[in-house]
Amino acid sequence: MVSSISIVSFAAAVAIVASWASQLVLGSVEKETKALLESGWWSHEYLNSTTTTPCNLIAITCNAAGSVTHISMNGYNLYQTKLGRFLNGSSFPNLVSLNVDGAGLIGSIPPEIATLSKLTYLDLSGNYLTGSIPPEIRELGNLTHLDLSDNELHGPLPQALGHLSKLKNLHLMSNGINGSIPPEIGNLKNLEILELQNNHLTGALPSALCDLTNLRNLSLGWNQLGGSMPSRIGDLKSLRSLQLCYNRLTGPIVPSLGGLENIELIDLSENLFNGSIPIEICSLSTLTRLDLSYNSIVGQIPFQLFNLTNLTNLNLAFNNLNGNIPSSILQQSKMISSIYLDGNNDLSIIDKVGPNSRKIRIIAFTVSIILVFSILVLIIVTVVRKCGCKYKTCQSLTPSKNGDIFSIWNYDGNIAYEDIIQATEDFDIRYCIGTGGYGSVYRAQLPNGKVVALKKLHTSEAEEPALKKSFTNEVKTLTELKHRNIVRLYGFCSHKRCMFLIYQYMERGSLFCVLNNDAEAKELDWRKRVNIVKGIVNALSYMHHDCTPPIAHRDVTTNNVLLNSELEAVVADFGTAKFLDPDSSTQNTIFAGTYGYVAPEAAYAMVVTEKCDVYSFGVVALETLMGKHPKEVLSSLSSSSTRNLMLTEILDKRLSTPTSRSDVHNVVLVASIVFACLHANPQNRPTMETVSKQFLDRRTPLTNLCFQEISIGHLMNPQVLLSING
């Protein structure tokens, strides 16, 4: 009897527990449905107040109990909603995958992200997310994939990332993240991909990185990292790609790189590495690309490099390498198709390579100081095949007695003069894409399929001393500059009847042309326009503050800002650029620049300082916001009618008024910087370094005003100027 009662009681208890569990599941589903209703992510055609289950919605996957497990909204327009609206408490206890790549989210990553404790896959990339990475992210201990790239996140990398021990892929590139890489990153023993490139990271590379023995891809380029390379980097036996380019790394390239037995790509370019090329690199049989360009590497090139069986691309340009390379070594190479050796100290190829060896076409240089007007620049050329100038055979390693110079370099290692002539059909008008301050600009597609831009002086112009001086000045200046927002000069030809420059080709042309084409201007949304302004800021800040001596451009205009296919900006046309004496506050000069962009003191007093560029930048940035040259605004800045104009009234009407928090923030920030830069007194203008820091700081002036209430007078307010100059 007792046994029977016990069985009945047990069955009743099981039924009660099952009922409670069922109610809990129903309660969870109801919470999930409510959260989805309130998120704003689904339009009413998909979701309404009578919806009882989310499982039939697009981009939703549920488990058998009807609870959401996967959300994949990548590419959907989420109407600039916030992540916090979606994360309504612990509403998604079974969610394992959330993908909202490129969905237009705004705001910050809320601490409530910690409630998604079962997440294994989180992709918030390509949005407008601001703020810092919350420390609560440590609670997502099941994550294997985290992608926060291409947002507007800033602040340091949290130590909490070190708690994500199951993480395999970590993508944080293209944000504004600063500070150092925390040593806790070494706790991520399962990590296979680490991408932190294109941020503002500083400090040294932590040795803890070398504990990530499963790492296949390490990308830390385009930051401000310093110090030396970790000596244990060779411990990363699984590494296939190592990218440390565009940093400030110093010291020698460590021999332990030879331990990267699976490496395919090593890019250490644009750093401050010194010492010689370690012979241990020559044992990397899987290596396909090695880029050590733009460093201070010395000594001779180990010939064993040319025998690596998989190496196809070798770039050692712009170092201090020396010695002779026997052409027989090059002929023996089985794979290398592109070798860059230009811009070195005393490097040459001995013995000519025959015409049947065009598989390897190399241009090696010696940078010499030889040119008129005390602008002594000559890149001496040795071409593997006969380069043959149309007007003069270019075989001499020095200028001829009548001053003819031929020097082409640094583009896949295989530009030669006849390539240029064939590609443009002897500079036929059909290949002309515009005219500059001097000469015409041509588009040329080389035999290898690559495209370059050519700026050629006409025969009559080549005889004019002023234009020849501009030509020479541009060569001298651009050989000193290396920055991603400054146009790259690949080579030049200087002959009394044939003078041209070879540049990186920018597919979208000048900012001026884009702004003056309605269809293209509409494509240039507020985010892209702000990024263009940032690019100009980066270039000018580099020229003014990172170059010794500083360089003033003196002709910053929308015509001299060029855009690539991704609408990223570079500053071009350095014909009037000037190296400044750092010990002199002002320097007299002849007039240079374009009317409408020139600072008052440069036009009237004939003096030049970095602050002249700051003023011109202000005009260009304002033109970018307005979509047209701001001549009316500039001419009446002191009038009350102009000061009473609302910011919204002067913005480009071809675009919708900024509404997202991110766009409003950026437009107000740029506008406040603009009017600080346009101050009549150059001493009251900010430096470009200060402007660059303003973008990093991300504090918006006038935050106490609504966007529609901000006037030009507000932007010119001394308090605003103080915040910009501070």
What is the three-state SS of 226-271?
ECECCCCHHHCCCCCEEECCCCCCEEECCHHHHHCCCCCEEECCCC
Q: Which pLDDT belongs to residue 719?
A: 58
pLDDT tops 50 at residue 583? yes
- How far does CA 705 lie from the centroid of its chain? 33
What number is the average pLDDT over the span 243-260? 94
Confidence of residue 52 (pLDDT cuts 50, 70, 90): low
User: Is-catalytic flag, 555?
Assistant: yes
pTM: 0.54
pLDDT tops 60 at residue 2? no
- β-partners of residue 478 are none
Torsion angle of C-alpha atoms 366, 372, 376, 381, degrees rounded to 10: -10
Contact 581, 507 (CB under 8 A): no
The fraction of the chain above a pLDDT of 90, given in percent, is 39
Q: Closest Cα to residue 613, out of 675, 568, 678, 529?
A: 678
- β-partners of residue 453 are 443, 503
CA distance 521 to 518: 5
pLDDT tops 90 at residue 236? yes
Q: Which pLDDT belongs to residue 43?
A: 55
Confidence of residue 469 (pLDDT cuts 50, 70, 90): confident
Confidence of residue 31 (pLDDT cuts 50, 70, 90): confident
Contact 211, 232 (CB under 8 A): no
Confidence of residue 194 (pLDDT cuts 50, 70, 90): very high
Task: State residue 607 phi and psi, 5-degree precision.
Answer: -120, 155
pLDDT tops 50 at residue 356? no
pLDDT tops 80 at residue 98? yes
Q: Which pLDDT belongs to residue 180?
A: 95
Confidence of residue 398 (pLDDT cuts 50, 70, 90): very low
Higher pLDDT, 78 or 93: 93
Confidence of residue 49 (pLDDT cuts 50, 70, 90): very low
pLDDT tops 70 at residue 577? yes
Average pLDDT in the chain: 79
pLDDT tops 70 at residue 117? yes
Q: Which candidate in 555, 573, 613, 652 is catalytic?
A: 555
What number is the average pLDDT over the span 472-494? 81
455 annotated as ligand-binding: yes
Helices assigned H by DSSP within 524-609: 526-541, 600-604
The fraction of the chain above a pLDDT of 70, given in percent, is 75
Which residue do the tokens 């527990």 mark?
Answer: 17
What number is the average pLDDT over the span 256-271? 93
Q: Which pLDDT belongs to residue 603?
A: 64
Q: Closest Cα to residue 687, out of 673, 705, 697, 702?
A: 673
Higher pLDDT, 478 or 143: 143
pLDDT tops 60 at residue 412? no
End-to-end CA distance of the chain: 88
What number is the average pLDDT over the span 291-317? 89
Q: Which pLDDT belongs to residue 591?
A: 55
**CA-CA distances (angstroms) from residue 605 to 317, 347, 577?**
42, 46, 18
| Least confident residue range of 72-81, 208-217, 551-560, 691-700 | 72-81
**CA-CA distances (angstroms) from residue 170 to 101, 154, 185, 194, 216?**
15, 16, 11, 5, 12
What number is the average pLDDT over the span 57-86? 79
pLDDT tops 60 at residue 395? no
Contact 416, 361 (CB under 8 A): yes
Asked if residue 549 has a cis previous peptide bond (ω within 30° of 0), the answer is: yes
Higher pLDDT, 174 or 30: 174
Q: Which pLDDT belongs to residue 482?
A: 77
| Least confident residue range of 192-201, 349-358, 374-383, 620-629 | 374-383
CA distance 434 to 512: 12
What number is the average pLDDT over the span 396-416? 37
Question: How many beta carbons lie within 10 A of that of residue 654, not counting itself?
Answer: 12
Contact 444, 420 (CB under 8 A): yes
pLDDT tops 80 at residue 335? no
| Highest mean predicted confidence (pLDDT) among 304-313, 384-393, 404-413 | 304-313
What number is the average pLDDT over the span 440-449? 84
Q: Which pLDDT belongs to residue 57?
A: 75
pLDDT tops 80 at residue 314? yes
Q: Which pLDDT belongs to residue 465?
A: 67
What number is the average pLDDT over the span 649-671? 90
